[in-house]
Amino acid sequence: MLKENEIKVGDTHTAVLVEDLKRTQIVQYAGASGDYNPLHTDEIFTTQVAGYPSVFAHGMLSMGLTGTMLTDYVGDGALKKYGVRFTNQVWPGDTLTGKATIIEIREEDGSKVIDLMIETTNQNDIAVITGSATATIEA
């Protein structure tokens, strides 16, 4: 867990979430999450029926990858809130970088918390996820 005297507003944490995203990782996520939408794993359906250039990642895979960056930063069991918007699709071959920025340090229900702004971008610097989180810290 982060300690109040070791952080300040404006601090950032950045991590590469995935490099050259493989179709197999999307399949892994489909199997683990139970979301077998063919848009994510079935190239023939996705290109010929749905009209997309290729399969693409579940939004929730991007949110999960971003969540890994987030919990690595704030610690286990510290998250109180985590929310995102899916702003662009993530394709096989993409490299994603996640960033969390502390925007406020405050009190909530008698404990210290931080509010974070979250952004995950692809190799072209286009945001694929924007969001926010709140985490408990040690006073």
Partner 1 sequence: MAIDKFLVEASHIMMFARSVGDANPIYHDEDYAKKTDLGGIIAPPTFAQSSAQFDPDYFLRPKIGGEGWFGSGKEASGAKPSKDSGGSGGGAAMGLHAEQHFEYHKPVKAGDILTATTKPGNSWEKESKRAGKLKFNESVTEYRNQDGELVITATGVGVQTERAVDS
Residues in contact with partner 1 by the rule CB under 8 A: 17-18, 25, 28-29, 31-39, 42, 44-45, 48-53, 58-61, 63-65, 67-68, 70-72, 76-77, 79-86, 88-89, 91
* Closest distance to partner 1 from the beta carbon of 76 (Å): 5
Closer to partner 1 by Cβ: residue 36 or 103: 36
* Closest distance to partner 1 from the beta carbon of 64 (Å): 3
The residue type of 26 is I
DSSP state of 25: H
CB 128 within 8 A of CB 86: yes
Closer to partner 1 by Cβ: residue 8 or 139: 139
The residue type of 6 is E
Determine the Cα angle at 118 with ends 23 and 66, to 5°. 30
* Closest distance to partner 1 from the beta carbon of 1 (Å): 9
* Closest distance to partner 1 from the beta carbon of 111 (Å): 14
What DSSP element (H or E) covers 90?
Answer: none
Closer to partner 1 by Cβ: residue 12 or 68: 68
Task: Find the DSSP H helices in the chain.
Answer: 23-33, 43-48, 59-74
Closer to partner 1 by Cβ: residue 62 or 102: 62
C-alpha dihedral (29, 80, 7, 13), degrees to nearest 10 = 20
* Closest distance to partner 1 from the beta carbon of 71 (Å): 6
Closer to partner 1 by Cβ: residue 102 or 131: 131
Cβ atoms within 10 A of the Cβ of 64, count? 15
